[in-house]
Amino acid sequence: MKHTISILVENNAGVLARISGLFARRGFNIYSLAVGVTDNEKVSRITIVADGDDYTLEQIEKQLNKLIDVIKVRTVKPDELLQRELVLVKVSCTAAQRHELISIAKITQAKISDISIDSMTLELSDCESRLENFQELLRPYGIKEVVRTGTIAIQKGTAALRA
Amino acid sequence: MATERMTVAAAMVKALEQEGIKHIFGYPGAAICPFFDELIKSDIQNILVRHEANSGHAAAGYARITGKPAVCAATSGPGATNLITAIATAHMDSVPLIAITGQVVSNQIGRDAFQEADITGASEPFVKHSFLVKDGTTIAEVMKKAFYISGTGRPGPVLIDVPMDIQKQEIDFEYPDTVEIRSYKPSFLGNKLQIKKAAEALKNSSKPLICAGGGIFTVNASGELLQLSEMCDIPVISTMMGIGAIPTEHKNYYGMLGVFGVETAKYALKECDLLIALGARMSDRSVTSLSPFHETVVIHIDVDPAEIGKNSPVNIPIVGDVKKVLEQLLTELNEMKHPRWQDMLYTHKSERVKRNTDNEKSAELVSPKYFVKTLCKYLPDKCAVCSDVGSNQIWAANNVVLSGQGRFITSGGMGTMGYAYPAAVGIKTAEPDREVVALSGDGSFQMSFMELATAVQHGINVKGVVFVNNYLGMVREYQDKNFEGRRTMVDLSGSPDFLKIAEAYGIKGETVSGNDRVECAVKKMIEANEPYLLQVMVDRTERSLIE
């Protein structure tokens, strides 16, 4: 089962290496990982989507909490979570195909970020399953490149994760 | 304390003095020279070892006997990487170790400079925390944090890596009295509700059992453990790290559990209806099969929440300082009696003891089991028996006799060969009035016998014992059992006469080739007021276990 784990860490050198190292050596699989600074410049937030049963999740949380630079760890149930990921897709696109791609962009609420004689780059921020749909829609045109940021997540409602 | 102007190296030494450090085990190299240079001006005694790994083991022995962080120091590159085994060993056994390493000058980092190694990176899986000091003005805070992190909660190794130019940097130094780390709050008291639950479960149990781990020594909880065992009439078994948590000859003690444990301890674990695991990890080597646990109520008390439920299912988890939790638990309990359960275990134990003794008498050359028992008969109460890894560890673990003050020190989790002698050097340095004996096999001893020089140079009165059978005995046993007796890489022919090795270092000793010579030789060794070595020729067929 996939879990989305939010981790607040001290913004110290090497903290990401400590966390990714922990996942690797304890055999926890990472699907995606995203890092950025919070409104407090001394604190960064890491969002990890990881795979595992309840035992694994409990171990991940406990082991993360043991790292000195980890301030807080929270795993929120999927239905209480607002998840987003940004994807950039560069597809082949002849002049004749442009209208079709523009209409796909409209329907999916994607943005056309770049265009050239024979390609187009579309940008979409959404949840994981929709991004996958989006990619499938573009596949017939010939995907040249896909770049994803990894999932970030925030809890719905007023609850907030702060250091 | 007022601010003083000094170099970072001087500040590091001042910080160590503030932390009450009296000894450092180290090995120099260019990158750590500024630090060692400042040590000359200090009362801290620097003990030169002969290999960096042994500086870590010596400091670990020191830390385990004093219960406080102890310090080892090495240079950059290979000096630092040599420390890794010692750091990993300390990590596995939750030993508060401070490792200080020199690093190449800051602007050379990342350029593969001479003797450069990313030691904070390389040691990361084995440290509780580490610091690479890039700004000298942080040194006071780093040192304070290092000692706090290493010595509190579940203790562990902390590494401080300081580039050479930073060591020479001039700073204003003031050592803080306290330290605050928002993300590190080791919990101490146990949850009251959980403690009530545990007391209730204990009252409903007819066959309760305590498994004592190394955590007992971390917080000096032997007294509370003994009180619980005696007041509630609960048998005690231990992990390898927990040997001596209660006196080994106590009527309630039934030995070490695990793969190489005592039959009665394994039997007790299988038969009990309630298990209190105290400061024990319940590792794969201790608890081999979890199935018998089905109907056993497991109460796991540990300061590290990550250990609870990691290796074995648990019904009542209690996170907290083992000593404090035991104090809390004792207030909830009254006297209990379990005569039938104790009788069951006692009968089982008596049968085994007889079988063992018969086996020892028939041994050719020396029976190592008989040797360990005889040694303990003559050792004073305040002693430390260090063992290496291999058959010798099991012989020692299952036959060592310790009263309240005696300690058994070995590499439990990591199983690091060559640990005993340097650890003994560390223990003897910390407590010169404690009689310290290092027991090694001929395999392990050859991994650290260069430390005989350390003992001689610094006048550290460590007694060494080498069991010689010209085999890596435990691996041989493993091959006999699992590879249809095909033995490979276990024959140690070519090993030296260890008595001659000792003589070469100026150490006196004796070779013992028969059971009848053991008593006399042991007495002579203990009486010696200088480093001493016994070479004990053991039966080549002697196995770790009888069964």
**What is the span of the domain harbouring residue A28?**
2-75
Check whether residue A7 and residue A69 sit in a common domain.
yes
Q: Which two tokens stand for residue A65?
A: 């909490």
B547 — pLDDT class (breaks 50, 70, 90) = very low
Report pLDDT digits (tens) over B408-441.
Answer: 999 999 999 999 999 999 999 999 999 999 999 9
| CATH number reported for the structural domain that contains residue A37 in this entry | 3.30.70.260
Rounded to the nearest 5 percent, the helix, strand and coil shares of chain A are: 35, 40, 25
Q: Write the ipTM.
A: 0.91
Pick the CATH number of B4-173 from 3.40.190.10, 3.40.50.970, 3.40.50.300, 3.40.50.720: 3.40.50.970
Check whether residue A55 and residue A40 sit in a common domain.
yes
Chain A segment 66-95 residues within 8 A of B by beta carbon are 66, 68-71
Give domain status of residue A161, yes or no.
no
Give domain status of residue A36, yes or no.
yes
Report pLDDT digits (tens) over A150-161.
Answer: 999 999 999 999
Last residue of a domain, one of A52, A75, A98: A75
Element (H, E) at B12: helix B8-18
Last residue of a domain, one of A27, A56, A75: A75
Query: What total of structural domains would you count in chain A?
Result: 2
Last residue of a domain, one of A58, A75, A92: A75
Do B192-343 and B363-537 agree at the fold level? yes
Check whether residue A63 and residue A98 sit in a common domain.
no
Q: Do A68 and B129 touch (CB under 8 A)?
A: yes
Look at domain B363-537 and name its CATH class.
alpha beta
B160 contacts in chain A (CB < 8 Å)? none
B181 contacts in chain A (CB < 8 Å)? 68
Whether residue B346 lies within 8 A of chain A, CB to CB, comes out as no
Report pLDDT digits (tens) over B44-56.
Answer: 999 999 999 999 9
Whether residue A149 lies within 8 A of chain B, CB to CB, comes out as no
Check whether residue A9 and residue A70 sit in a common domain.
yes
Check whether residue A19 and residue A50 sit in a common domain.
yes
Alpha carbons A65 and B104: distance in angstroms, whole number: 32
Q: Do A14 and B306 touch (CB under 8 A)?
A: no
Alpha carbons B428 and B460: distance in angstroms, whole number: 7
Q: Do A69 and B183 touch (CB under 8 A)?
A: yes
Does residue B294 carry a pLDDT above 70? no
Give domain status of residue A128, yes or no.
yes
Secondary structure (DSSP) of A121-154: EEEEEE-HHHHHHHHHHHGGG-EEEEEE---EEE
B124 contacts in chain A (CB < 8 Å)? 17-18, 21
Q: What are the C-alpha distances in Å from B66 to residues B96, B186, B219, B428, B434?
A: 10, 21, 11, 11, 12
Q: Which residue of B has its CA nearest to A63?
A: B306
Terminal CA-CA length for chain B: 62
Angle of the B78-92 helix axis to the B52-66 helix axis, nearest 10: 30
B306 contacts in chain A (CB < 8 Å)? 59, 62-63, 65-66
Give domain status of residue A33, yes or no.
yes
The beta strand positions in B11-69, using DSSP E, are 23-26, 45-48
Q: What's the topology of domain B192-343?
A: Rossmann fold (3.40.50)
Does residue B115 carry a pLDDT above 90? yes
| Burial letters B134-160, b for 16+ CB under 10 A, else e | eebeebbebbbbbbbbbbbbbbbbbbb
B287 — pLDDT class (breaks 50, 70, 90) = confident
| CATH number reported for the structural domain that contains residue A125 in this entry | 3.30.70.1150
Does residue B541 carry a pLDDT above 50? yes
B81 — pLDDT class (breaks 50, 70, 90) = very high
C-alpha distance from B537 to closest chain A C-alpha (Å):
42
Q: Give the mean pLDDT of B384-412.
A: 96
Check whether residue A58 and residue A97 sit in a common domain.
no
Every domain of chain B and the residues it spans:
4-173, 192-343, 363-537
Check whether residue A36 and residue A17 sit in a common domain.
yes
How confident is the model at residue B540, as a pLDDT?
A: 85
Check whether residue A43 and residue A98 sit in a common domain.
no
Does residue B404 carry a pLDDT above 70? yes
B129 contacts in chain A (CB < 8 Å)? 68
Does residue B465 carry a pLDDT above 70? yes
B188 — pLDDT class (breaks 50, 70, 90) = confident
Contacts A–B by Cβ distance under 8 A: 35
Check whether residue A90 and residue A147 sit in a common domain.
yes
